Amino acid sequence: MSRRFLLAACVLALVAPLPLTAQAADPYPTPGKPIKFIVPYPPGGPTDLMARLLAPGLQQRLGVPVIVENRAGAGGNLGTDNVAKSAPDGHTLLLAASGPMSVNQTLYKSLPYNPIKDLAPVIQISAFPLVLEVNPAFPARTMKEFLAAIKAQPTAFNFASAGNGTPQHLAGEIFNKHAGVKMQHVPYKGAGPALNDVLGGQVPVMFDILASSVQHLQAGKLIPIAVTTPQRSPALPKVPTMAELGIPIDFSAWHGIAVAAGTPAPIIKQLNEALNAMFAEPAMKQRWAEIGSPIIGGTPERFGSLVLTESVRLGRIVKESGAVAE
């Protein structure tokens, strides 16, 4: 082969069009391929509700079916691990909750996934207040009356939760610390059974995620004492915050959307933009207000920062409480 021919061949190789796969990324989502939206808890709770509120809008904006799947178990770990081990192509979304993202790495001896390394944040979607609520038979309607009753009978009153390490449990432990009381924790296997026993009077007190209890509170079946976020909730505007009452608590049950680590940045950007656009719609703002959370939104980096900081803060609370996985 002559040197002139070899030189010409090299020049042609440099200027020849690149293969289609290298010229442009495959379109997202893949036409006709459904998106799975994994909820790591059973149907009926606030996490499941949010996924089902978001799925139709995502389907409309992305142009493929969005199917909600409940994969409950191990405090949210099973469903979260399923997404962590999924293909990093944006076709498997996680309704990410504070438990499996920031609490469980301290609560459990080991996890099958690393929430920081194995998952990529897309967007924060909620920050639910927890409500200190009591059965109507409880001898208190205000925080002053509540604390007086607890301190008068330190061993008489317990608080229910959805289980060790859940937001309901951690809120109670934080309250005990800052209010100077020692209510005993009664863990249940899920928020539903705990709430049913509070409604029935078997356990008098609960710190519940507002979305779970709001209908009972509005109907007078439970009495709200205070909420745990710095601002009052639009769903319960007359209920004061803990901070207003002199108890320095800032605590919420937050949620977001995550995908498997390694998902291309343009896909995460597209998902983030679609969800932010949905949250800008008046109807979605209204629906979120009705279930008790402000609209959050924002960037993937903001959600990722929350996961990191809350892993430290909530991990410390778990250690101080002595809670372990059931």
Residue 12, pLDDT score? 35
Block residue for tokens 């430290």? 312
Is 18's pLDDT higher than 50?
A: no
Residue 9, pLDDT score? 39
What would the pLDDT profile of 156-193 be if each residue is shown by its tens digit? 899 999 888 889 999 999 999 999 999 999 998 888 89
Domain extents in the chain: 35-128+252-321, 129-245
Q: How far apart are the first and last CA of the chain?
A: 74
Is 264's pLDDT higher than 50?
A: yes
Q: What is the arithmetic mean of pLDDT over 301-310?
A: 96
Contact 68/48 with Cβ under 8 angstroms?
yes
Residue 163, pLDDT score? 86
Residue 234, pLDDT score? 85
Look up the pTM and report it. 0.85
Q: What is the arithmetic mean of pLDDT over 206-235?
A: 93
Confidence band for 17, pLDDT divided at 50, 70 and 90: very low
Q: What is the arithmetic mean of pLDDT over 104-110?
A: 93
Confidence band for 10, pLDDT divided at 50, 70 and 90: very low
Is 301's pLDDT higher than 70?
A: yes
Cα dihedral: 288, 205, 322, 176 (round 10): 90
Rounded to the nearest angstrom, the gap between the alpha carbon of residue 236 and the centroid of all alpha carbons in its chain is 21
* CATH code, residues 35-128+252-321: 3.40.190.150
What would the pLDDT profile of 45-100 be if each residue is shown by its tens digit? 889 999 999 999 999 999 999 999 999 988 899 999 999 999 999 999 999 999 99
Confidence band for 38, pLDDT divided at 50, 70 and 90: very high
* CATH code, residues 129-245: 3.40.190.10
Does 35-128+252-321 match 129-245 in CATH topology?
A: yes
Residue 25, pLDDT score? 61
